[in-house]
A and B are shown apart, each in its own frame.
Chain A
Amino acid sequence: MSQEKSDAELIAEVLKGNPESFEPLVRRYSPRLFGTARRYARRESEIEDIVQEIWGKVYQKLSSWRGDAPFEHWLMRTAVHTCYDFLRDHKRNREDSVTDLSRDEEDWLERHAAAPASTEDDSDAARQLVQRLLDQLSPASRMIIILLEIEDRSVKEISALTGWSVPLVKVRAFRARAEMRKCLKRVARDKYL
């Protein structure tokens, strides 16, 4: 069965002129790509467009995959580049203000300020607050925070994924953390300072 074939076998078949062999790859890796794209975009239509664009790029450049690294790594590099391009194209749509918090977010912050242990990690308010902060960051800072702080990747891994040099990743990480703290300061000034 084609589902049992390895990535390399499927790719070889596609390159021989059998495009149907690409479908098992799409089925195999789309969940991972959707998970990645959902970190960078909110609307489902945008997320689907990003993943479709990733597959379009991968299909076009399939002959450039040399097989010395796993297909998944190569795919994730394309995914990260596409997500970064998406952030740059939509940076004008970033929210103007982080001060307009919802009532739930305000409540979560107040409860956290009073008794941190009483607040839950999996509440919608906390998730929305994180999303709101990430929406405020520049494309490069958002990407670094997601890869370094949230996905817990190493600087070297980020360098391989983004194509940025290791020193550039470190500089951008420093700036991203400062930017994130600045946004947080604006949100929680009256409660924490």
Chain B
Amino acid sequence: MSLETLYQRLLRVARANPPSERVPYAFEKRVMARLILARAQALDPWAQISQGLWRAVIPCFAFTVMLFCWHLTQATPGGSAGESGLGAVDDLEVAVVDSIDLNDSVEDGL
């Protein structure tokens, strides 16, 4: 007796014994009750609003994080701009001071 014969025999057993198609009592009533409940929940405005708010949590949080990152990237050049701005003021001050001929003004005054 080969395994192949046993294999074919077991398949024949499975074919000869299809599972029962028995449906539990009042199954369709339970299915309908469940579907109608789900539909009512879907039509409830408060349920929809709260569902929408919950769905919005992740995109809002992601947007907040993106804004924060953008703020950080903008703040860093801004800071260096401030320093460079101070440097420019210093340069301007030096230029102004250099442009003043102290000797001239002293002589004029005298």
Interface residues of A (CB under 8 A from B): 19-20, 22-23, 26-27, 30-32, 34-35, 38-39, 44, 48, 51-52, 55-56, 59, 109, 112-113, 116, 119, 121-122, 126-127, 129-130, 133-134, 149-150, 152, 180-181, 184-185, 188, 192-193
A193 contacts B3, CB within 8 Å? yes
Q: B103: CB under 8 A from chain A?
A: no
The one of A19, A30, A31 in contact with B36, judged by C-beta atoms closer than 8 angstroms, is A19
Q: B19-73: which residues lie under 8 A (CB-CB) from chain A?
A: 19-24, 27-28, 30-32, 34-36, 38-39
A130 contacts B13, CB within 8 Å? yes
Number of interface residues of B (CB under 8 A): 32
- Tell me whether A121 and B17 are in contact in the complex, defined as CB-CB below 8 angstroms, given that A34-B22, A150-B11, A181-B7 are known contacts: yes
Enumerate chain B residues within 8 angstroms of A184, measured Cβ to Cβ.
3, 6-7, 10
A126 contacts B13, CB within 8 Å? yes
- Tell me whether A34 and B20 are in contact in the complex, defined as CB-CB below 8 angstroms, given that A48-B27, A56-B34 are known contacts: yes
Interface SS majority for chain B? helix
- Tell me whether A22 and B17 are in contact in the complex, defined as CB-CB below 8 angstroms, given that A184-B10, A192-B1, A192-B6 are known contacts: no
Closest B residue to A193 by beta carbon equals B3
B32 contacts A23, CB within 8 Å? yes
A150 contacts B32, CB within 8 Å? no
Enumerate chain A residues within 8 angstroms of B28, measured Cβ to Cβ.
23, 26-27, 30
B3 contacts A121, CB within 8 Å? no
Enumerate chain B residues within 8 angstroms of A130, measured Cβ to Cβ.
10-11, 13-14
The one of B5, B12, B21, B39 in contact with A35, judged by C-beta atoms closer than 8 angstroms, is B21
User: 4 additional contacts, CB 8 Å, given A56-B35, A59-B35, A184-B10?
Assistant: A19-B32, A26-B32, A119-B9, A126-B10
